Structure 1
Amino acid sequence: MKNETMYFNDLLSIWLEKQKQARALSTYVKYRHLADRYISPYFRSIQLSKVDLPMLQTFRNSLLSPDSLHPLGNGTIRCILLLVNSILRLSYETGQTNGILYLPPRLPKKRPEVPVFTLQEQKQLEHYLTAHTGISEAVIYLGLYTGLRVGELCALRWENIHFSDRYLHVRHTVQRLTRLDTTHKSELILSGPKSISSNRLVPLPAFLLPILQPYSHPEHPDYFLLSQSANSPMDPRTFQNHYQRILSQAGLRYLNFHAIRHTFATRCITNGMDPKTLSEILGHSDLKVTLEYYFHSSLEFKKEQIDRLTALSPAVHTSLPDMPHNMTD
């Protein structure tokens, strides 16, 4: 039933409660953060009946404003717009509005620049990891050849690694999330993986097995790889600190840990792995994400591809005829 005095933020609270019941905790926390920071302040004290397309367009423009001290990425803006559209759809479904208002979430394409390690840098890192043994070094090696996310690596238990069959099973992830109480403190949460497709089997290269096995606990298969206990996984931030220290000691520039995942994807494609297989290994639900965000073609690889094309030309095998003197460009 239509409520003439209902405010937009009243409906936002109802919508958030529905998401809390239907979504994973990490997803709900993300939605709550975006709602509290960007949606609720803008629509404060605005009745639903006053919301119209010009107002929504002004809101959209405010997110895109280049004057902002901390400009938002396209992915964040797109997510906020999708949330607002979902709230507007709920207002129609509950009879609060007579029609569905809609904010186009499509934005100008802006491919994120995510640096990857060059082949020489990767070799240098692997040389260091081989020369300096430790569980952190072994897990970084594991990341280089599986592309697992840092939270997935921190959530790995020894029972998830099947040495005899040469694969691992990604079943959980670890994240540090902000509490939803008044303290706003964060806590470490062990939960299911990011999506259904993220729950996956990942093959292991044979050379990694003897690198990992010395640290395994056959008598305690429920122990986490990194914390060596059954109860508390390592905080991803702690592991990233170890990773940063290792890069420094290896004499390498700092790239955040997600660059390891991008480096893995790039090596897979440049060495001939088909994108569909790579997409499944990475745990993507959409092949387009794999190709658009996780494949970084180096100049060396582009030259190699051009050389393959050049080899098809008859000019490579026969001398070119003399060009007419009167030929112009």
Structure 2
Amino acid sequence: MTTKTIREIALAWKSDKQRYVKQSTYAAYVLILENHLLPSFGDYDSLSEKLVQEFVLQKLENGLSVKTVKDILIVLKMVMKFGVKNEWMNYCEWDIKYPTSETNKDLEVLTIAHHKKILDFIKENFTFRNLGIYISLTTGLRIGEICGLKWSDIDVCNETITVRRTIERIYMVEGDCKHTELVINTPKTKNSCREIPMNKELLAMVKPLKKVVNNEFYVLTNEEKPTEPRTYRNYYHRLMKRLEIPRLKYHGLRHSFATRCIESNCDYKTVSVLLGHANITTTLNLYVHPNMEQKKRCITKMLKSLRK
């Protein structure tokens, strides 16, 4: 066996991986390697559990979330497996422990009153940029998907919106050269390519527009060129400030849409498909947290069926 360092293995792994993954995914891997893994493990030729556990605790102490650290370890494990496959290092099994003190943060969502306030305002104050916010609140589209939406994706005959692309600015690292690049890509996963029905109000808004717009133009700009997520996010925050709505990340609009669906007793599988989640577990973990009233109803229902 010819032993190599993690730095050398990572270099070979990057070249191999680049052929199979999306540009944005590759850029994320490179960033994780440059910022976290190579500074800590670059000169090592093995990855013991003790070494990795110390790295995890250090990263958590530095303020990274458990989820972020776990994502970093996924990349580290891929590099290690690649090294093992090529007989450049030995495989190590890890049983990493995470502090139990971290509690699940509640999702940030709009109140029902604020949700209605935004929808009502946009109906009275139509602009193409405002339309994007309305679509996010009534379909759950992500910001990159909204920025990538073209008029051709809106079908007024079938009353649907089809998600076909996403726009994101990615951080590129090529040797010593670092720069950002705006990329138009296919959505996050194959489930993210999806068809979503429009509600009557949204349909009424876009139907007359579809007769006059250029199908190849982007919805938010109504031009050949799109707007990028960062620019659109800034516009959204300015609008929320104007409406005196507490600051909420743009992704909170998607969370608000999903939460309203769950509150309306929509079945979880349908909500999962609308959101384009890879599986229903993601939807359940994020949005399904029954309150005390729902728990009581569930037990009453169960006991009622026992007495039949």
What is the DSSP-based 3-state SS (H/G/I as helix, E as strand, rest coil) of the residue aligned with 1:40? Answer: helix
CA contact (8 A) 2:31 2:173 kept: no
Residues 277-288 of structure 1 mapped to structure 2, 5 A cutoff: 277-288=270-281
Q: CA deviation at 1:193?
A: 0.3
CA distance in 2, matches of 1:209, 1:281: 17
CA distance in 1, matches of 2:96, 2:142: 27
Residues 159-170 of structure 1 mapped to structure 2, 5 A cutoff: 159-170=152-163
CA separation of 1:216/1:295 partners in 2, compared to 1, >3 Å: closer, same or farther? farther
Q: CA deviation at 1:161?
A: 0.7
Normalised to the residue count of structure 2, the TM-score between the two structures is 0.89
Structure 1 equivalent of residue 201 of structure 2? 207
Structure 2 equivalent of residue 58 of structure 1? 54
What is the DSSP-based 3-state SS (H/G/I as helix, E as strand, rest coil) of the residue aligned with 2:30? Answer: helix
Amino acid at match of 2:2: N
What RMSD over aligned residues (CA atoms) do the two structures have, in Å? 2.4
Normalised to the residue count of structure 1, the TM-score between the two structures is 0.84
Residues 34-53 of structure 1 mapped to structure 2, 5 A cutoff: 34-46=32-44, 48=45, 50-53=46-49
Structure 2 equivalent of residue 86 of structure 1? 78
Amino acid at match of 1:39: L
Larger radius of gyration: 1
Deviations 1:87-145 (A, max 9, x none): 111121111234x2133467457434321011111122222222212112222111111
Amino acid at match of 1:3: T
Residues 1-329 of structure 1 mapped to structure 2, 5 A cutoff: 2-4=1-3, 6-46=4-44, 48=45, 50-64=46-60, 66=61, 68=62, 71-98=63-90, 100-104=91-95, 107=98, 108=100, 110-181=103-174, 182-216=176-210, 218=212, 220-230=214-224, 232-295=225-288, 302-303=292-293, 306=296
Q: CA deviation at 1:218?
A: 4.8
Q: CA deviation at 1:60?
A: 2.8
Could you list the runs of 5+ residues in structure 2 that have no partner in the other structure? none
Which of 155-164 and 183-192 deviates more? 183-192
Q: CA deviation at 1:310?
A: 6.2
Amino acid at match of 1:52: S
CA distance in 2, matches of 1:225, 1:190: 15
Amino acid at match of 1:81: L
CA distance in 1, matches of 2:295, 2:169: 42
CA contact (8 A) 1:175 1:190 kept: yes
CA distance in 2, matches of 1:15, 1:312: 54
Structure 2 equivalent of residue 321 of structure 1? none
Q: CA deviation at 1:205?
A: 1.1
CA separation of 1:112/1:104 partners in 2, compared to 1, >3 Å: closer, same or farther? farther
CA distance in 1, matches of 2:96, 2:278: 20
CA distance in 2, matches of 1:219, 1:122: 28
Higher relative contact order (CA 8 A, sep 6+): 2
CA separation of 1:33/1:89 partners in 2, compared to 1, >3 Å: closer, same or farther? same
Structure ranking higher in helix proportion: 2
CA separation of 1:40/1:217 partners in 2, compared to 1, >3 Å: closer, same or farther? farther
Q: How many residues of Structure 1 are paired with residues of Structure 2 in the alignment?
A: 301
Amino acid at match of 2:260: R
CA contact (8 A) 1:269 1:295 kept: yes
